[in-house]
Amino acid sequence: MSNKNIKNWQKLSPPAKLFHYLGMFLLTRTLGQQFALFWSAITSLFSKSRSFKTDSRNIIMQTFFTGVEIFPVLFIVATLFGTVTIIEVITMMGKMGFDDIVGNLIVIVIIRELGPILTAFLIAGRSGSSLTTYIGSMVINSEVDALATMGVDPIRFLVMPGLFGGCIALFFMNIIFSTSAICVGYLVVKAVILLTGNIINIQLTWNYLSTEILNALTLSDFIYIVIKPLVFGAIITTNACYQALNIPRDVRQVPKATSKSVIKSFLYVVCADVVLSIFYFVDYMNNISTII
């Protein structure tokens, strides 16, 4: 450290020194490095060397890759999940005499919790792993170094489109998942009732189901419909890019980095969901108290 730097350091107040040590500590940890990568990708969008045409094209391509190509699998999973949820909730609540909280349970299970999580899991397992493999292969083949040599920022060219494209795709896929689970799930339940002669013994109409769900929706649900997918998308894509950029220069490490990316994305998504759920934990308790 030069004499000038030493003098500047001595002039810092104790709180400033504390934040400096805290920042240095976080940057030596995985989560801190991932947050730094996330912040670098955000700020790279506003750099002087940005190209709106190139950046927008890359983001659109990443959005298409993350969202549109996973739609068939997501639609099938959402339909089956919604069908089972509707049947189980209506059957269980009907036997217990709590028909008036069917909408609350469906909103909690599909819209608030498992819908966003399952959507994030599908995208992490498919698109997140592909992103890690793609960038990791570029790292091993020295293509990332070549981009930097040519004056192209690898963060802006590779990480930023993945981050924004992943967040946008996850937002729309989450809405599609919940809509498919409820609407198409309802149609499948009605088909089951028609084909089996109502062997499951439930009475279900669209007017009843839609009214119960709309009455159960609150302002916090609409807020988290936006917040949760964006948070999950940022977590999945940032983690995928981080695992790829830090891969050892060995082609045998690509599968390991890919599996590590998926597993850690699952863990981070669940942890983030727990943290976000705390903010409407009181609402959950009110719903449980109505059941009891």
The reported pLDDT for the residue numbered 94 is 62
Give tens-digit pLDDT for 19-47: 444 555 455 677 777 888 888 888 887 77
pLDDT tier at 118 (50, 70, 90 boundaries)?
Answer: very high
Query: Which of 120, 132, 130 is closest to 77 using CA atoms?
Result: 120
Is the pLDDT at 9 greater than 50, yes or no?
A: no
Is the pLDDT at 105 greater than 60, yes or no?
A: yes
- For the ranges 23-32, 46-55, 58-67, 178-187, the lowest mean pLDDT is seen at 23-32
| Percentage, residues of the chain above pLDDT 90 | 19
Q: Where are the domains of the chain?
A: 50-291
The reported pLDDT for the residue numbered 235 is 92
pLDDT tier at 211 (50, 70, 90 boundaries)?
Answer: confident
Q: Which of 44-48, 262-266, 279-283 has the highest mean pLDDT?
A: 262-266
The reported pLDDT for the residue numbered 97 is 62
Give tens-digit pLDDT for 126-153: 888 888 888 888 888 888 888 888 877 8
pTM of the predicted structure, to 2 decimals: 0.83
